[in-house]
Amino acid sequence: MIQLNTESKLAFVAFILIFLVTIQYFFHKNQQFSDKSLSIDTNDFHVDHIIPINSPSIDEIDHKIPIKSPSIDKIDFHNDHKTPIKSPSIDKKQVNFNQINQINPIDPFPYNFLHIIGNPDGTITRLQEFFPTIPPSGSNNFDSLSLSLSKDVLLDREKNIWVRIYLPRNAINNSKNLRKLPIVIFVHGGGFILYSAASPLFHFFCAELTGQLGALVISVEYRLAPENRLPAAYDDVLDALRWVKEGKDDWVKNYGNFSRCVLVGQSAGGNIVYNVMLRVVDLVNDLRPLTIVGMVLIQPAFGGPNRTGSELRAVNDPVTPLVVGDLMWYLALPVGADRSHEFCDPTIGGGSEKLGRVKEMGLWVGVVGCDGDPLIDRQVQFVEMLKRREVVVRSLFTKGGFHNVFLVDPIEKSGLMAYMENIFSEFR
């Protein structure tokens, strides 16, 4: 019988928890909708290829929103849209999806979906049984099956900002032949309002990323909204960069290559990374000797003042229903801001004026997405905007999938790791 080590068992438990949360709403209602999935030639998908998505106007889609249906036993997350998926059903008669900046803050559905409770003072209570955390592996954990070691370091006690640092095991084993490792700053997702650097989903992803890339990975615990609305998360990640450049931690000082730092963010973390990058271009001297060379945005969370076709197709998406995304933006953006705000829509006004500096400095941007993600149209528009501004872009868009697929699907995760290895080699 195969014996699993503690970390492997935790990884298995984490995967099961994530899978259950993903499918728990598949049985929400039995209402059926017609299946009108995107039809795209699989041969058209490769690195740096943008999916052509025709996003009909809101008026054209208003009563023709295609949602996937049948039974749960037929679900296959690798089906490339061949098997429809049953989604939680929302009554369109009760929701005006065209009014993107209007939200009912007391609608119980998105709160229940996210396992949170809205409080009278504007904060939220996160039901902890749905948001488990796990400790780092510890610097003295010499389990030979683990590819990395990890530890937590407190940066700001008052704000509770800390980082979890991951080091490849072979770096310790080969300490006599010390080779400096690229530094990856990782920022987790969660709609700006949920999760932690210690959440199993992100912990195991970073541990795997460390082993696959042979990098020193630093995952940032930032403040969450609505208690700390944007730009608080941007500030926290920037403060983490300043801490890294000081080299006070032994792992960072002894193993990190300060001339080769890459920012990586997933979902809301992708949004955070992009906005931090726009600040970094004005702080080059302040951050030396730490040098940011590029960033990878994995299914970044962007929005805008008008609905896109992929968002309208996702009214009853099983992972990120439309009203859930609406609530996250409502809770995350500065009070009084709508989705034309630059924190939400990076393409507004043709993009930030600081993209000129990004181009001049030769900073590259990697963008990863899939056409099953409600955010895909935003991500494609973002890539197109960067190319118009002559920023170096390396994009990877795949067929099928769903939001968070690159974290939980082994095949898609493997493709992501290969993509990141290639992009790291290209810009070595």
- Given 150, 371, 403, 409, which residue is catalytic? 403
pLDDT beyond 90 at 152: yes
Residue with structure tokens 């960072």? 252
Question: pLDDT at position 84, please?
Answer: 29
17 phi and psi angles, rounded to 5 deg: -60, -45
CA 351, chain centre distance (Å):
21
Each residue's pLDDT tens digit, 247-272: 999 999 999 999 999 999 999 999 99
Rounded CA separation 187/161 (Å): 13
Beta carbons within 8 Å of 252's beta carbon, 6+ residues apart: 165, 183, 216, 218, 244
Helix (H) or strand (E) holding 298: strand 292-298
CA nearest neighbour of 279 among 343, 195, 190, 367: 343
Please give the residue that has the higher pLDDT: either 389 or 101.
Answer: 389
Helix (H) or strand (E) holding 152: strand 148-156
pTM of the full structure: 0.79
Beta carbons within 8 Å of 197's beta carbon, 6+ residues apart: 162, 163, 164, 188, 203, 206, 219, 220, 221
pLDDT beyond 50 at 307: yes
For the chain, give the number of residues: 428
Taking the CA of residue 388 as centre, how many other CA atoms within 13 Å lie in the half-sphere pointing to its CB? 12
* Total Cβ atoms within 10 A of residue 321: 24
Q: Is 371 exposed, middle or buried (CB count within 10 Å of its CB: 0-12, 13-18, 19+)? A: buried
Residue with structure tokens 């954990």? 141
Rounded CA separation 158/244 (Å): 19
| Encoded tokens for 308 | 């896109």
Confidence of residue 68 (pLDDT cuts 50, 70, 90): very low
- Given 267, 310, 352, 395, which residue is catalytic? 267
One-letter amino acid identity for 358? V
In 172-280, beta strands by DSSP E: 181-187, 216-221, 256-266
- Given 345, 373, 377, 409, which residue is catalytic? 373
Average pLDDT over residues 90-99: 45
| Encoded tokens for 344 | 């939400």
1-428 under CATH 2.40.50.100, yes or no = no
| Encoded tokens for 66 | 């295609």
Q: Are 148 and 11 in contact (CB under 8 A)?
A: no
Q: Are 262 and 183 in contact (CB under 8 A)?
A: yes
Q: Are 376 and 397 in contact (CB under 8 A)?
A: yes
Mean pLDDT in the chain? 81
As a 3-state breakdown, the chain gives helix, strand, coil percent values, each rounded to 5, of 35, 15, 45
Question: pLDDT at position 5, please?
Answer: 52
Each residue's pLDDT tens digit, 115-135: 999 999 999 999 999 999 999
Beta carbons within 8 Å of 144's beta carbon, 6+ residues apart: none
Question: pLDDT at position 240, please?
Answer: 98
Residue with structure tokens 């932690």? 196
| Encoded tokens for 382 | 């973002």
Q: Are 86 and 71 in contact (CB under 8 A)?
A: yes
CA nearest neighbour of 152 among 168, 135, 169: 135
Rounded CA separation 191/403 (Å): 11
Q: Are 124 and 117 in contact (CB under 8 A)?
A: yes
Rounded CA separation 192/301 (Å): 9
Average pLDDT over residues 157-161: 97
Beta carbons within 8 Å of 180's beta carbon, 6+ residues apart: 255, 256, 257
Question: pLDDT at position 198, please?
Answer: 98
| Encoded tokens for 86 | 């049953």
Active site includes 188? no
Q: Are 261 and 287 in contact (CB under 8 A)?
A: no
Please give the residue that has the higher pLDDT: either 425 or 89.
Answer: 425
Q: Where are the domains of the chain?
A: 1-428
pLDDT beyond 50 at 185: yes
One-letter amino acid identity for 196? S
Active site includes 175? no
Active site includes 219? no
Each residue's pLDDT tens digit, 1-14: 444 455 555 555 45
Strands 181-187 and 216-221: parallel
